[in-house]
Amino acid sequence: MLVLAFDTATPAVTAALHDGHRVLAESTTVDARRHGELLVPTIQKVLAEAGVPLRQVTTIVAGTGPGPYTGLRVGLMTAQGLGTALGLAEVYGICTLDALAYGTRREEPFLAVTDARRKELFWARYDDARTRAAGPFVDKPADIPLDGLPVAGADLYPEILGHAAAPPYPLAGFLAALAAERLAAGEKLGEPRPIYLRRPDAVVPKAPKRVTEREPKRTPRDAIPQSTVQAEADSTLEHG
């Protein structure tokens, strides 16, 4: 088993290769604006460090979010493209928050959070590192029901949530290890479908309104002063 995993649902562009027992190589760059530019070189770096050609990869797994539209689709489209190039029957997807939660190794309930921008957070509730109990959701920090639980992930809004425990990002090593564990247990992984919890910022503009010539306004006869009407009538009789 050679699992190539990567995620672009957060500011971290991250990729890793797992052989079913351990992570062979991993690389991560935090840059929220360069997902499309960084992902393929990151994958190439991981394969080179592991000394494994792409053709030997048996499984591809991508983080499915939730995340911002543009960054998230970079990873999922890359997964589909690589899967097609390798002739794989399937490529897989795992919730990005599940990978983050797996990296905590916690055995008690907690919340996993990532930055959703617009002063909001993506979050989910977990019973332990492997078991999601609710979510994912998107909310403003003050609207997230903490219920006294600790938070792991993006260390944002500490005045509301307290300081988040590590890891700060869903590193691909966690994603690859989780996928390998589930596959070894005979579990079926999900499809690489994006988890969008709101509409994208960019929208297709509506068609411009049609501009038509307007007919000249007609003044209702009732609106013409009575003196004018009477003058016109007298003139007509005079010349009639």
pLDDT above 90 (res 226)? no
Confidence tier at 80 by pLDDT (50, 70, 90): very high
pLDDT tens sequence across 167-216? 999 999 999 999 999 999 999 999 999 999 975 554 555 556 565 555 55
Q: Which amino acid is at 28?
A: T
CA-based diameter of the chain, in Å? 112
Give the per-residue pLDDT at 198.
Answer: 76
Judge contact between 178 and 94, C-beta under 8 A.
yes
Which tokens is 125 given? Answer: 């509730």
What value does the mean pLDDT take over residues 70-76?
95
pLDDT band at 236 (very low <50, low <70, confident <90, very high): very low
Sort strands 92-94 and 12-18 into parallel, antiparallel or unpaired: unpaired
pLDDT value of residue 238: 47
Whether the pLDDT of residue 74 is over 50: the answer is yes
What phi and psi values does residue 146 have, to the nearest 5 degrees? -70, -40
Instruction: Give yes or no for residue 12 having a pLDDT over 90.
Output: yes
Whole-number pLDDT of residue 101: 98
Mean pLDDT is highest, among 140-149, 195-204, 212-221, for 140-149
Per-residue confidence (pLDDT) for residue 240, from 0 to 100? 47
* % pLDDT > 90, the chain: 81
User: How high is the pLDDT of residue 120?
Assistant: 97
pLDDT the model gives residue 66:
98
- What angle is formed at CA 97 by the lines to CA 83 and CA 81, rounded to 5 degrees? 15
Q: CA torsion angle for 12, 14, 169, 36 (degrees, to 10)?
A: 30
Question: Poorest-confidence range of 30-44, 48-62, 81-95, 195-209?
Answer: 195-209
The percent of residues above 70 in pLDDT, for the chain, comes to 82
DSSP character string of 149-191: --EEE----HHHH-PPBSPSS--HHHHHHHHHHHHHTTPPPBP
Mean pLDDT of 218-239: 49
Range with the lowest mean pLDDT among 11-20, 174-183, 216-225?
A: 216-225
Confidence of residue 227 (pLDDT cuts 50, 70, 90): low
Q: Is the pLDDT of residue 128 over 70?
A: yes
Average pLDDT of the chain is 89
- Residue 17 near residue 52, CB atoms below 8 Å: yes
